[in-house]
């Protein structure tokens, strides 16, 4: 089946630092990847849509200068949380859209970010 990986799986950082999260589709090419944020016991909130070779599309209310997205290849998208603050602590999940096989999104295992 389609596999999506995320790295790191968890990270603890000091307030004011930047954190980069990688999302990779391991066995398929993904022209589109999505970044979600999930608060405890809540649903996934779409942050942005990452398109290979072009700028990401951000959802309303998501600061593009704070959450930098780069989709440099067909198998890799990165999310950088710049100048992280405690309120950025959350569970971040990426997904990759697999066009072949009837358009299913496959999700990474998530990255737990804790900003102290």
Partner 1 sequence: AQSVAQPEDQVNVAEGNPLTVKCTYSVSGNPYLFWYVQYPNRGLQFLLKYITGDNLVKGSYGFEAEFNKSQTSFHLKKPSALVSDSALYFCAVRDFNSGSARQLTFGSGTQLTVLP
CB of 10 to partner 1, least distance (A): 9
With respect to partner 1, which residue has the nearer C-beta, 84 or 94? 94
With respect to partner 1, which residue has the nearer C-beta, 17 or 39? 39
With respect to partner 1, which residue has the nearer C-beta, 3 or 72? 3
Residue 36, beta-bridge partner list: 46, 93
Binding site for partner 1 (CB under 8 A): 4, 6, 32, 34, 41-44, 46, 49, 91, 93, 95, 97, 102-110, 112
Element (H, E) at 7: strand 4-7
Nearest of 41, 47, 32, 109 to residue 81 by alpha carbon = 47
CB of 16 to partner 1, least distance (A): 26
Cα 86 to the chain's mean position, in Å?
18
CB of 83 to partner 1, least distance (A): 26
Q: Strand, helix or coil at 14?
A: coil
Contact by Cβ (8 Å): 93, 36: yes
């Amino acid at each position: 089946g389609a596999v999506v990986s995320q790295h790191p799986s968890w990270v603890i950082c000091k307030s004011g630092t930047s954190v980069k999260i990688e999302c990779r589709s391991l066995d398929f090419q993904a022209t589109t990847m999505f970044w979600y944020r999930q608060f405890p016991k809540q649903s996934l909130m779409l942050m942005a849509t990452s398109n290979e070779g072009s700028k990401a599309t951000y959802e309303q209310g998501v600061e593009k200068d704070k959450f930098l997205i780069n989709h440099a290849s067909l198998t890799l998208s990165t999310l950088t949380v710049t100048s992280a603050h405690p309120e950025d602590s959350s569970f971040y999940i990426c997904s990759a859209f697999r066009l072949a096989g009837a358009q299913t999104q496959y999700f990474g295992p998530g990255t737990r970010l804790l900003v102290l």
